[in-house]
Structure 1
Amino acid sequence: MPGRPSPSPAVPRTAPTDATDPTAVVVLRPEEWLARSAAHRERIEARTAPLLELHGRGERHPVQDFLFGYYTHSPAALARWHPGAGVVLADPDGAAAAAEAERDGAPHRGGWRHLRTTEAGEIPGAEPDGRPTVGWTVDADAFTADRATGIAFTAELLERTAARPARLGCFGLHEWAMAYRSDLHGVRHSRLPLRLGAEGTDAVVESQRIRCTHFDAFRFFAPEARGLNEGADGVLPTRAGMRDMEQPGCLHAGMDLYKWAYKLLPWVSSDLVADCFDLAWDIRALDMRASPYDLRGVTDLAGGDYPPVRIETPEGRAEYVRAQRGFADRGQALRARLLAALAPLLGDDARD
């Protein structure tokens, strides 16, 4: 089970890091952290502003709305900047947090969960003139008390997933299995036509080996397609078996890194969450490009399009595997960063 970070002397430092070092504290002056907060918001809004503009017109995006429907972290929450544990945002008179809230039109940092203000003298020697630093930091006691079960589950899932070899032969057929027998069940993306039609889609499903290892994809299969899934060595995915089956080649496991990251806020940094979000954004595009849906006329919110990855052909399957391998590598690097951030919260028994 995870334990609380061991008390240790707070040693001020001046450069932040993703991996929390419980023996050191990073102190950012108001002008530094306000600039980083603004840069993070700008980074996120470059992705989300076009999406929100669509929503304002009563429209939805058939590809990237998934990241704010299936996942529960809102664009507004994603735009809030957290430096991660082990960092103090100096704010001796509270003016910086007030300015941030006014600038962003967002809730004041004082109302965010699992944050606290440091006490005078808690971090001695952090200011050049010897004054103690007062500011905002993660409330480690409250966070670990509220999230103990989630911390343990997430760490075990990430560690076990990272230790497995990537399986790269699924070719994104989960989306095809969801659209199987659409003459009976319809399709999830009802506004998008099937690129090969209903019969052509069924023919692809019936002619390929389906080897889905992700339960949250498998559970949406058409009933007739469930029996066609080989899973992993004959084992089918279940909710209870996630920790035994998740593997780094799975596109949905890669997208889910975003979920595990935002559930660990504010302990992990928003920079890490944003990197996981970028991976999920890119994976989602491939997921739909390789799907049975016809995306002609759908823009990628940056003015581009979604050319199909024709996994019904050898060339398309090779293209898919190349992209899948790159996403698996990116995902493994992010898993390592998430595990490094969690390490101070895990007791020795949780890591055995």
Structure 2
Amino acid sequence: MREYHSTVEVLQPEEWRARAEAHRRRVEAWTAPHLARRERGETHPVEDFLFTYYGHRPAQLRRWHPGAGVVLKGATGFGRDYLDTPEGATLDTAALLERRGASVEWIARLLAATASRPAYLGCFGLHEWAMVYKAARVRHGAWPLRLGGEEIARVVETRGVRCSHFDAFRFFTPEARPLNVLQPARERQPELEQPGCLHANMDLYKWAYKLSPLVSGELVADCFALARDIRAVDMRASPYDLGALGYRPIRIETPEGRAEYAAEQRAFAERARPLRRRLLDACERLLAAAPRT
């Protein structure tokens, strides 16, 4: 017989309903404009990215979860993965961990490895430049480039590329890949990821929603908020010209722009640290209380 041992927190109806509504309102400010643009057939290279690149739908982001080990007093039929108990609804955490325990272990290993390293601040966002280096077509073709192809190539070749993140590297042009100091691969993520990387910190949102509903909706939303801010800087430092959308470029082709980018990296690393810790703590609690026979 499976058992799940965990501290149980009981939320009174007024508390969990208020949290669920606050979460819905917070997330609606992000999802509603995206859905409106989609209805009109419009795209936004910054605001839509988290919905098109990541596999978490707006409806999933809007749904609030209390996380593992929480009873929602008086709730019944709360949804898939929940059990009705005499006190209220609660996640069937044992069943979820039985299905997803290996994923939780992998995420925990990646988070711990990333957190163990110092932040490297010398890449200067050249991953976005490597994605358009000598490219016949670019990913965001609706938006102009700030520089011509020859100047983009000169910047990439002069500065060099030092990208440690596989999910950025895999979008490099074939000509740019040999220029990268590292050759990231999926299986090398725990070995290479570091906390100064904008994409590693943006991916905290991915790990949060992949852990959902075992972690709270608030934690998923906190990670989304960080990823959203990072995406804006990511594109400001790219060779694209998004001035028409109100984004001032970070000209990493200049010393002043590189200093600005490194300062942004440092600030994001500081913001990401407690979120990475919260996710890792959640993983460790879940793994310590995993089902046993």
Task: Give the TM-score normalised by the residue count of structure 1.
Answer: 0.79
From the CA coordinates, give the structure whose radius of gyration is larger.
1
1:316 aligns with 2:253: no
2:165–2:192: 8 Å Cα contact kept in structure 1?
A: yes
1:117 aligns with 2:84: yes
**Residue 17 of structure 1: aligned partner:** none
Give the drift of 1:115: 1.6
Which of 171, 174, 192 is equivalent to 1:223? Answer: 174
**Distance across 1 between alignment mates of 2:260 and 2:45:** 22
Give the drift of 1:274: 0.6
**Distance across 2 between alignment mates of 1:261 and 1:330:** 15
SS of 1:213's partner is coil
Amino acid at match of 2:132: A
Which of 144, 153, 172 is equivalent to 1:202? Answer: 153
1:239 aligns with 2:179: no
1:165 aligns with 2:118: yes
Which of 24, 37, 42 is equivalent to 1:59? Answer: 42
1:214 aligns with 2:197: no
2:236–2:242: 8 Å Cα contact kept in structure 1?
A: yes
2:101–2:287: 8 Å Cα contact kept in structure 1?
A: no
1:329-344 matches, within 5 Å, as 329-344=270-285
Amino acid at match of 1:139: D
Higher helix share: 2
RMSD: 1.6
1:253 aligns with 2:236: no
Which of 229, 236, 242 is equivalent to 1:282? Answer: 229
Give the drift of 1:5: 7.2
**Distance across 2 between alignment mates of 1:290 and 1:335:** 24
CA displacement, residues 93-146 of structure 1 (integer Å, 9 cap, x when unaligned): x4xx6xxxxxxxxxxx32x3x22112x3xxxxxxxxxxxx2x111111111011
CA displacement, residues 141-162 of structure 1 (integer Å, 9 cap, x when unaligned): 1110110110110000000110
Amino acid at match of 2:185: T
**Distance across 2 between alignment mates of 1:347 and 1:88:** 20
Which of 80, 90, 93 is equivalent to 2:63? Answer: 80
**Residue 262 of structure 1: aligned partner:** 209
Amino acid at match of 1:289: R
SS of 1:136's partner is strand
Distance 1:5 1:263, change over 3 A: farther
Q: How many residues align?
A: 288
Which of 39, 47, 54 is equivalent to 1:71? Answer: 54
CA displacement, residues 194-252 of structure 1 (integer Å, 9 cap, x when unaligned): 10122221121111121000011111111111111112xxxx21111111101111111
SS of 1:344's partner is helix
Give the drift of 1:344: 2.0
**Distance across 2 between alignment mates of 1:310 and 1:5:** 56
- Which deviates the most, 79-88 or 316-325? 79-88
1:210–1:229: 8 Å Cα contact kept in structure 2?
A: yes
Task: Give the TM-score normalised by the residue count of structure 2.
Answer: 0.94
**Distance across 2 between alignment mates of 1:186 and 1:202:** 15
1:171–1:311: 8 Å Cα contact kept in structure 2?
A: yes
**Distance across 1 between alignment mates of 2:176 and 2:149:** 14
Where structure 1 has 5 or more consecutive residues not aligned to the other structure, the ranges are 8-21, 98-108, 121-132, 299-304
**Residue 188 of structure 1: aligned partner:** 139
